Amino acid sequence: MNTTSSIAHLLKAQGLRDTQPRRMVMQALIHIQSPASPYDIQKWITAQENTINTVTVYRVLEVFESLGLVHRHPSSGLYFPCSIPEIKGHHGFLHCTKCHLVEEFHNPELCVIENAIAKKAGFKAKNHLSEIVGVCKGCVL
């Protein structure tokens, strides 16, 4: 879990500052629960009687992503907190089209196969992305 203080430490460790806007964005992400756009995040913060600039939200998310605190869901551009400790090079997402839940997964076998595919095609792979689109447990019922 990303507590407020652990984030502060993480930022400091990188020579980055623990600021009001960064705390607000993380709060928003944690509370919104589902993947959110920068504008969604801004809206949430505004609803809490605070203000934050759109550009700042974009920039904060960029920093968070580089620190492995959040993911950007590639096909939608929505952000959500990283639940699995960052595993370099591979991201797996289960995406529910009904409730927009996004769950992470990590599967080493997948990495092995994908590396093999890349090698066969003469590609030097930097990272992989797997997305499984469907309907989650709760929404199937």
Partner DNA sequence: TTGCAATTGTAATACTATTGCATTAATATA
Partner DNA sequence: TATATTAATGCAATAGTATTACAATTGCAA
Among 52, 69, 70, 101, binds DNA (CB under 7 A): 52
- Closer residue to DNA, CB minimum distance, 65 or 104: 65
- Closer residue to DNA, CB minimum distance, 47 or 121: 47
53 binds, among DNA, a second copy, none (CB under 5 to 8 A by kind): DNA
Among 3, 4, 6, 19, binds DNA (CB under 7 A): 19
Least distance to DNA, CB of residue 39, Å: 4
CA pair distance 135, 43, nearest whole angstrom: 27
DSSP state of 36: B
Render 65-107 in DSSP notation, one character per residue: HHTTSEEEETTTTEEEE--SPP-TTEEEEEEETTT--EEEE--
- Closer residue to a second copy, CB minimum distance, 53 or 77: 77
* Distances, alpha carbon 78 to alpha carbons 9, 13, 36, 101, 110, in Å: 25, 26, 5, 11, 24
Residues that bind DNA (CB under 7 A): 8, 11-12, 15-22, 37-39, 51-56, 58-60, 63, 77
